[in-house]
Amino acid sequence: MMGSQYLLTCVCFWLPLVSFTISVASQKSTTGPGNVIEGNVFINGTTSIGRIDDDFVCATLDWWPPEKCDYGTCSWGRDSLLNLLTLELRTLIVYIAAFSPLKIRLGGTLQDRVIYERTGNGQPCSPFVKNNSEFLGFSQGCLPMSRWDELSVFFKKAGAVVVFGLNELSGKTVDSQGSAVGAWNSSNAESLIRYTVNKGYNIIHGWELGNELSGNGIGARVSADQYASDISSLQNVVQNIYAGFKVKPQIVAPGGFFDATWFTDFIKKTPKSLQVVSHHIYNLGPGVDDHLIEKILDPSSLDSTSQTFSSLQSILKNSGTQAVAWVGEAGGAYNSGHNLVTNAFVFSFWYLDQLGMASSFDTKTYCRQTLVGGNYGLLNTSTFAPNPDYYSALLWHRLMGNKVLSTRFSGTNKIRAYAHCSKKTKGITLLLINLDGNTTVQVRVSTENNSGGTKNSSMHEIQIPRTRFATMLRVRGSKRVNDTRKEYHLTAKDGDLHSQTILLNGKILNIDSSGLIPPLIPIDVNQLDPIIVAPFSIVFAQIPYIKFSACN
């Protein structure tokens, strides 16, 4: 102990005399051409600024049939809740089970056109049919109970928890101005909920009412007053059917685009009947936009949703409700996304930035549109093989813990930085996203105290002289100096942002012949070395030697 103290004292004595940046030869494979600059990430570990669910990462499955087409392209295939085949469901189990559990939201635009089969009533249960003269361009569709049985058994085997989106337009009429008038008719939804409980399907985490009917709505809209009344009706149905259950499903709504006035009014009127306030995000515009990549790589474009998160957080805090915020659906670019953009490596910049931003505003769950289907699935629509965002989501799920830490970065606005207490291990995990294709950034980490000042949190922040003494320090110094961190560097194959192949620490991630997910193996890096963030790359750094009171 005395020797270690002496060595550290000597380090402090020598530092003012001579210094230089330690070489990081072991990480050359993660760097690229162009400029090399330094940056600093500052983390306040005194207290957490948010807390996410253990199953923060969520994905959706939609109702769109094969006939759903956008801009002349039909990208959904047979990936609808009504069309997925038994063989395909078995393939999905592996990818869902890897999250253990994965929260899955069942819904989308057509959920307000779905009725649920009632056994024994003799009424036909027909699928959606394309009809441009009808509301939302499709006829009413029906969920057969045999299909619900199949899906329920599948979700249970996969270890998924389900948020089911119910039809809020049941019993309503939509006038020529798009206003949905009348009270919600709960009878059909009640039959589905009761059937689910009677069959012992304990997969339901929440019942969500309506899809994109808040504010101005998409296709139709419901007033905040009427929506609040309908939510109260749903709460009564759930409380009645689940009477005697120790844990009851949550009530989720409105599953629409954020409108501050509408949401404020709605939340104030549902103080006890609503547990989750859900909203949707498609901030990049239509999938046909040829400038999607420019938007994804633009910091100001990425920041565009911060006001939504901030406003909703403020409304919840000031309303007295116990409800929490979720992103119930987010595909970035609406109308099914854009092939080789929203299902390619470049979209991980947007997606992981969204996860980081949402969590920093105390959002509890973030549901990606979709698990499979359209051009923005975590899985390939045809082969079900993981797209790059699947691996990004899995790394987030495994590394980023519940507690969110205040984080800021200086040096360039092209680095996005987020930090959480690590998941199931000591220390913190730092996420760094480099939006610059020509600049490598050498990142050092500092911590902030209560007064806003900074201090070194680990020896890799200090520039140490390359002398015999420094070498001796590495060999004989304290355990703190010899600590290592684990790094996960994500890059695109051949540097192509449109690539659907992702590399982890220079190695391609591919499922094996049995369909198993490859191991996500980090590299060990000495804490004396800066974190090297290559051009157009993403880095998760799991740092055990930074210990914060917020993480205790």
Specify whether the CB–CB gap between 184 and 171 falls below 8 A. yes
Task: For residue 59, give the nearest of 379, 284, 499, 345 by alpha carbon.
Answer: 379
Side chain identity, residue 405: L
| CB distance 225 to 180 below 8 Å | no
How far apart CA 369 and CA 280 sit, in angstroms, is 10
- Residue of 208, 329, 461, 487 marked active site: 329
End-to-end CA, the chain: 26
Distance CA 378, CA 381 (A): 9
Query: Which of 223, 220, 241 has the alpha carbon at shortest distance from 231?
Result: 223
Phi and psi torsions of 355, nearest 5°: -60, -45
Closest CA to 457 of 473, 441, 471, 443: 443
Q: How many Å apart are CA 148 and CA 397, to the nearest integer? A: 28
Side chain identity at 282, as an amino acid letter? Y
Residue of 231, 235, 252, 272 lying closest to 164 (CA atoms): 252
Contact 528, 520 (CB under 8 A): no
Q: Please count the other Cβ atoms lying within 10 Å of the Cβ belonging to residue 104.
A: 25
If we measure between CA atoms, which residue out of 250, 252, 363 comes closest to residue 306?
A: 363
Question: How far is 78 from 382, CA to CA, in rounded Å?
Answer: 9
In terms of residues, how long is the chain? Answer: 552
Residues 491 and 507: beta-carbon distance below 8 Å: no
Query: Is 67 a catalytic site residue?
Result: no
Q: Is 212 among the catalytic positions?
A: yes
168, 190, 208, 212: the active-site residue: 212
CB 292 within 8 A of CB 338: yes
Q: Determine which helix (DSSP H) or strand (DSSP E) holds 479, and give its type and residue range.
A: helix 479-482
CA 245 to chain centre: 30
Secondary structure E strands in 213-347: 250-257, 276-281, 285-286, 324-330, 333-334
Classify residue 219 by its DSSP letter: S
Cβ burial 350-370 (10 Å sphere, 16+ → b, else e) = bbbbbbbbbbbbbbbbbbbbb
CA 493, 499, 505, 507 dihedral sign is negative
By C-alpha distance, which of 110, 191, 184 is closest to 145? 191
Catalytic residue IDs: 212, 329
